[in-house]
Amino acid sequence: MSIELEQPDLVRDVAQVLISEEQIQAKVAELGARLSEDYRDRTLTLVSVLKGSLPFMADLMRAVKVPVRIDLMEVSSYGGSATESSGLVRILKDLSSSIDGRDVLIVEDIIDTGLTLNYLVRYLRGKNPRSLRICTLLDKPARRLVDIAIDYRGFTIPDQFVVGYGLDYGEFYRNLPFIGVLKPEVYTRA
Ligand code: IMP
């Protein structure tokens, strides 16, 4: 389903700031320090999933002190709605380089049902990486449909649809520097 939002009022449409810019930056620094320690003396390949993970990827890669390569994938789930994932995943952009024998970390914005990531993990495992771990900024466990072992987790959040710091509603709100909850009337307006 595609939705057309007309000129959303980015800040006024937010009912509540769930995670502030400062809290995000502190968490990114903490995750970066853990990764730098865990991957000491190794090189790391960060694979991020467009578009929502873009700000997290950009910040996290600069917080990691070991040599990193980056690669980007884009997937779309189809058959769902603007706020619900369907579990059917289509690859819109594949990896640019081989990950054979590499230490790979998937960098995700949010894990909700887990269906997207479950697909991605199976896909990337088939490409024979040396190791494959998962780092997500947000974990929304309430709606999980598949069991996923998350190696690095930023924040566990309640079952609310959130926007900002890369996350969108109808492709907007990605540029908010914090993570917030939209006012219900924004959904009903679309
Ligand atoms: P999953 O397959 O249900 O785990 O959903 C993963 C994808 O759904 C994420 O990468 C997001 O693009 C999107 N998504 C899930 N929950 C939210 C949310 O609260 N806000 C914005 N996007 C979300």
Residues of the chain where predicted confidence (pLDDT) is lower than 70: 1-2, 78-87, 189-190
Question: Does any ligand 1 atom lie closer than 6 A to the CB of residue 110?
Answer: yes
Question: Does any ligand 1 atom lie closer than 6 A to the CB of residue 85?
Answer: yes
Single pTM value for the model: 0.93
Instruction: For residue 51, say if its preceding peptide bond is cis, omega within 30 degrees of 0.
Output: yes
Report pLDDT for 84: 63
Q: Give the number of other Cβ atoms within 10 Å of residue 183's Cβ.
A: 14
- CA separation for the pair 39, 68 (Å, rounded): 10
Report pLDDT for 79: 58
Report pLDDT for 2: 57
Report pLDDT for 87: 66
110, exposed or middle or buried, with CB in 10 Å at 0-12, 13-18, 19+?
A: buried
Residue 62 vs residues 102, 147, 148: alpha-carbon distances, Å: 20, 30, 26
Cβ burial 53-90 (10 Å sphere, 16+ → b, else e): bbbbbebbbebbebebbebbbebebeeeeeeebebebe
CA–centroid distance, residue 111 to ligand 1 (Å): 6
Q: Find, among 96, 104, 94, 98, the residue nearest to 130 by Cα.
A: 104
The catalytically annotated residue of 112, 139, 159, 168 is: 112
Question: Does any ligand 1 atom lie closer than 6 A to the CB of residue 109?
Answer: yes
Beta strands 162-163 and 103-111, pairing class = unpaired
Question: Does any ligand 1 atom lie closer than 6 A to the CB of residue 118?
Answer: no
- Determine the residue of 18, 85, 89 to mutate for testing ligand 1's pocket, defined as the one with the most ligand atoms within 8 A of the Cβ atom: 85
- CA separation for the pair 51, 170 (Å, rounded): 13
Contact 96, 71 (CB under 8 A): yes
Residue 71 vs residues 27, 57, 174: alpha-carbon distances, Å: 22, 10, 20
- 112 assigned to active site: yes
